[in-house]
Chain A
């Protein structure tokens, strides 16, 4: 049976992980390669590395980091942050990334999804959507970390992304992100039902019960989490063990 995936997310700035991480005995907690290896050993199903560098120099460092991650880590990993062109995607593929995420750049120029998928296959392209619910209940996709509204609506944009060649949709509710109050499961379920490609839930997990809910009621295929792992609340192995106890298929 296909397992639900648990995916730790690491934010990287100038080559180093910037959020606090809970691995005891790790001398350099900022080392993105070592952390990736530790997560993989703990049972992470995939990893996501997001580049939040703002400088050209930071971007270069990130590409070098991707090569080192590919050498060291024996599970699939996705990279994102600042990918604006087929060339950017090609560089990261050549460095060894298994998938890339597109966010603002896909909203600005949706053709980019198809250009990358045509060259490298749809399994390589994850479209990330950060959306906020409006007073009318409409979920509006945003860019720039939720600060800038776009003209795209979550459901129609996700379907368009699928038609253009996206292999997965990574949806973050900006209303829930960082709150640790759980995910909007009904929105995830409707999104998952409306698509023929996997949906990854992101942002809002405060407990294993929240993750379990989005993987069952929310019909998500995978859950991406950062703070729940980084702040020492749970290890990946603990989360998966607890999910397994509730009957959710996970790889142990």
Chain B
């Protein structure tokens, strides 16, 4: 059973629909015991990183998440809150699983913020990207990004910045893109995560 952590950070329908299409069983929950017992845990998130941290703290989840030993996948803001800290949440530590700092894109000529649409990912490392060629396109929607760090396992280029499209530290994985909205390539990544 997969636990999708429900902490009031955006609509979970897309993720649920994607897991349904893959035939995966899941439960949507904020209950620490259910999360600890799950085979896999997904931390989704759309919205403000500071609010996301507040919502996790309110539900008593930061230590629960940090202590998980099964595969955990953070998506978008879910990935960002697994980082050390974020410019979107000044003075507020995030979960600190990934050793990355999250910054805002500076608007550059011809580069709109948010970074929205399909971009290619490169320098792919590890099982999450099994059977995927470098240069695969994934769907992104975000204004903040995690810089490159030792945990980077995929990179993307936008607004003159090379940033982390995906991160991994031990059993923790994070994707800045939305696999649940990224066509057959995204489905492959979700399947790879489910197969860990």
Measured CB to CB, the residues of A under 8 A from B are 1-3, 5, 40, 45, 70-71, 74-76, 93-96, 98, 120-123, 167-168, 195-198, 219, 221-222, 251
Contacts and interface: CB of A to CB of B under 8 A. Distances in A.
Interface residues of B, number: 33
Contacts of A40: 183
Nearest 4 pairs of A and B residues by beta carbon: A251-B137, A96-B13, A3-B118, A251-B118
Interface in B96-118: 107, 110, 112-118
A241 B119 CA distance: 17
B44 interface: no
A45 B118 contact: yes
Contacts of B125: none
B46 A74 contact: no
B46 A2 contact: no
A221 B117 contact: yes
Interface of B: 10-11, 13-14, 17-18, 20-21, 46-47, 107, 110, 112-120, 137, 139, 141, 157-158, 180-184, 186-187
A74 B20 CA distance: 11
Contacts of A74: 18, 21, 180-184, 186-187
Contacts of B110: 219
Contacts, number: 78
A2 B119 contact: yes
B112 A197 contact: yes
B11 A93 contact: yes
B47 A2 contact: no
Contact of A167 (B114, B118, B182): B114
